[in-house]
Structure 1
Amino acid sequence: MPSTDSPAQPARPAMRPMDVSVIIVSYNTREITLRCLEDLNAGLGGLQAETIVIDNASSDGSVQAIAERFPRVSRVPREHNLGFGAANNVGLERARGRYVLLLNSDAFVEPDTVGRLVDYLDKRPGVGVVAPRLLNEDGTLQRSCFRYPSPMRAWLENLGIARLFRPGSPLGDYRDWAHDRTGPVDWAIGACLLVRREAIDRAGGFDERFFMYAEETDWQKRIRDAGWDICLLADAQATHLGGASGASDRVRVNEQFFRSIDLYQAKHYGWAGLVLFRAAMVVGAVARLPLWAAACVLRPNRRAKAVGRVRMYAWLIGRQLWRRPRLQRS
C-alpha cells in the first residue's frame, strides 16, 4: 500500500528578531528628513531594522515625498502637532525592535554609527541609553551631554561654583568637556539616542505634558531612576543641525523652554524645588545683566550679541519673579 503520510515539509528558517526600530518625528522638514533617511539607510547594513516616521501635521508634502523615495518606511501622519514626546510615544507603541533609535529629522548618522551603538548595548546589559558624540554641520563639537537641572545644580552653575571643578567631575559640569570619553553621563539630548526596549518597558514612555524641551531629560531621569545607566559612546558620531523645525520667535521659544523646566522641577523636586530653582535663575540673571549691558558700550563688535543677552536676562528676571508657573496635571 502506498504510504498515506504527507511528504515532509522543509523546515522554515527561524525569523530573525528585529534589532532596531528607528523612530523619526518630522514637522515641515521635508528635504532635511529625506537627507536623514538617506544617511540612515546607508548605516543599517547587517541590522534587522524598521523605520517609522511620525509626521506632526506637516504642510510641506513630507509624507508624500517619503512615500515616493522610501516606500518601505512606515509613515504615520497625524492631524495635529503632538509635540516631540507624544509623537515618539506613537512610534514606541508600534516599534518591534529590541532597541529603539530615536533620531531627529535633522540628525545625520555616519555609516557605522548605528552598528556601534547596537554593539555597545549588546555588550553592556546595564546600560539603558547610549548616545553618539554630536557634531555641528561645520564639524565642530556640539554640546550634547548635560547635568540634570536640579535646584542644587542651578545654584552651583549660577554662582559660578561649578566652573571651579574639573569638567565631568561630580560637582563640575560638562560645559568645557570635549565629549571624548565613553561612559556614563547624566543625560544626552534626544537628537540620536539608542534605547533598550526593557528600559522603556520599565520606565514608561514620554510624559506628554512636555510639549517641547525637557521631555528627554525627564525620560532619561526616569530610566536612570529605574536602574539603567545613560552613556555617551565617544567613537560613534552624528551631525545635528539643531532647531530645524523650531520656532523662529525667540521669546516664544524661551517661554516654552522655561515652562517645561518649571514642570520638570515641580515633578521631580516639588514646589519647594521649583522655587529654589527659579531663585537661582534670577540670581544668575541679575549678576550677568550688568556685564552684558557694559559690553553693549565697551565692545561695539559684539553689540548685537550683547543686546540680545541683555534683553534675554531682563525677560528672564521678570518671568521668574512675576509669572506664576502654569503646570498641567498628570
Structure 2
Amino acid sequence: MLADTEFSSFIIVTYNSARVIRDCLEPLIDLVQQGHEVIIVDNSSADETLAICSAVIPNARLIINQNNEGFAKAVNRGAEASSGSTIVLLNPDAVGTTEAFGQLLESSRVYPGAVLAPMIVHPEQRLSVVSAGRQPHLGRMILHYSGLARLAGPSVLEGHYLYPRQARSARDVDWATGACLAIPKDLWVAVGGLTERWFMYAEDIEFCYRVVSAGYKIRLLPGIQISHAAGTGTSEPKSMKADWIVNLWHFYDQDLSQSKASSVAWKLVVALGLMSRAGYYALRGATSEDKLAWRHESRRFRAFSAAILRAK
C-alpha cells in the first residue's frame, strides 16, 4: 500500500456512460488495489452506468447528483471530496492501460508541481492535431486555420493545436485537454479548480490559462498514450452542438481579447476556417468509401461555423 502522501485520486464524471465506462475503469483496478482512489461523480444517469461502476470497482466512491448540473460542477465536487496528493481527471470515454496510468503518476515525481498531460490518441484517426497547444489568441488561430502552423519550424509558428511532429518529446504547452490530466492537489486548490461559467467544454483550456498565469507548468508527455473517442462519453450519438467552439469564443472575448476589433476578427477567422474544413470533408465524402461519415462531418462543421458567427 502507498503512503498517505503518495496516493492519487482519479475523478470521473459520468452521464449515461454505460457503453464506455467499463473500458475506462478496468485498467484502474490494480491501481485501486495499490491504494489509489477512484471517485465517480454521476450526473443523474438513467442507464446502467452506476451498476457497472459498482461491479467493476466496488470500493470506488460514488457521488450521485440528483440533476445534471454540468461537467465542471461535477468535477469540482469530486475534487473537493478527494484525499490524494494528485488529482487525475479522466473522461469516461478515455481508456488507458494500467501501465500508462502508472507512468503518468510516476511522472509526477519527475515533474513536481506541474500539470501533466499524456498524449491523447483518437481511435477514429480523423484528427491530425494533438489535443494540446497554444492558447487561442487571434494570432494562434490564424496560424492554425490558415495552415501555416503545419510548417515545421520555431514555436512562434505554432497554432492553437499542435501537430504530432511538434510534440515528439516531452515539452511545455499552454493547454491540454481535460480528457486526462494529472494535477497536484495543492495546485488545484491554489488556482481554484474548474470554472463553472459553462455547462461543459472549454473549461479545461480556461483552467490551463489560469495555471500558466499563476506561474505553473503544463507538461505534455507523448510517451504516455491514452485513447479518447471524443464525443462518446454518453450513450447519445455524436452531436451537432457547437458548445465547444462557442465557449472558446466566449473565453477569448472575455479573457484574452484586447479590443472589439480583435474579437470580431477572431470570429471571422474561426468561422472561415471551420467552413473550409466543411468543404474539405464534403469532398472526402464524394470520393471516400466512408461517404456518410465524411458528409456528416461536413454538416457538423458547417453548423459550427454558423454558430460561431451567431455567438454573442
> Same fold, TM exceeding 0.5?
yes
> Equivalent residue of 1:228, what SS?
coil
Q: Is the CA contact (8 Å cut-off) linking 2:29 and 2:57 kept in structure 1?
A: no
Looking at structure 2, the residues matched to 34 and 24 of structure 1 have their Cα atoms a distance apart, in angstroms, of 12
Report the equivalent of 1:50. Answer: 37
Looking at structure 2, the residues matched to 187 and 242 of structure 1 have their Cα atoms a distance apart, in angstroms, of 17
Provide closer, same or farther for how the CA distance between residues 219 and 80 of structure 1 changes in structure 2, counting only shifts above 3 A. Answer: same
Report the equivalent of 1:4. Answer: none
Q: Is the CA contact (8 Å cut-off) linking 1:158 and 1:284 kept in structure 2?
A: yes
Q: Is the CA contact (8 Å cut-off) linking 2:13 and 2:91 kept in structure 1?
A: yes
In structure 1, which of residues 261, 275, 296 is the aligned counterpart of residue 264 of structure 2? Answer: 275
Q: CA offset at residue 78 of structure 1?
A: 0.8
In structure 2, which of residues 171, 177, 181 is the aligned counterpart of residue 193 of structure 1? Answer: 181
Tell me the amino acid that sits aligned with residue 217 of structure 2. Answer: D
Check if 1:64 corresponds to 2:51.
yes
Looking at structure 2, the residues matched to 19 and 212 of structure 1 have their Cα atoms a distance apart, in angstroms, of 28
Q: CA offset at residue 74 of structure 1?
A: 0.4
**1:123-145 alpha-carbon deviations (Å, 9 max, x no partner):** 32342x10122233489998322
Report the equivalent of 1:238. Answer: 226
Q: CA RMSD in A?
A: 3.1
Q: Is the CA contact (8 Å cut-off) linking 2:8 and 2:87 kept in structure 1?
A: yes
Report the equivalent of 2:163. Answer: 175
Q: CA offset at residue 304 of structure 1?
A: 4.7
Looking at structure 2, the residues matched to 101 and 320 of structure 1 have their Cα atoms a distance apart, in angstroms, of 31
Structure 1: which 5+ runs fail to align? 1-13, 326-330
Report the equivalent of 2:104. Answer: 117
Check if 1:161 corresponds to 2:148.
yes
Check if 1:135 corresponds to 2:121.
yes
Tell me the amino acid that sits aligned with residue 201 of structure 1. Answer: V
Q: CA offset at residue 292 of structure 1?
A: 6.4
In structure 2, which of residues 22, 25, 33 is the aligned counterpart of residue 37 of structure 1? Answer: 25
Structure 2: which 5+ runs fail to align? none
Check if 1:262 corresponds to 2:249.
yes
**1:242-300 alpha-carbon deviations (Å, 9 max, x no partner):** 2223553643x22x22321122112312462432310212343566666667x389x54
Check if 1:216 corresponds to 2:200.
no
TM-score, normalized by length of structure 2?
0.84
Provide closer, same or farther for how the CA distance between residues 290 and 120 of structure 1 changes in structure 2, counting only shifts above 3 A. Answer: closer
Check if 1:77 corresponds to 2:64.
yes
Q: CA offset at residue 39 of structure 1?
A: 0.8
In the comparison of the two structures, how many residue pairs are matched?
304
TM-score, normalized by length of structure 1?
0.80
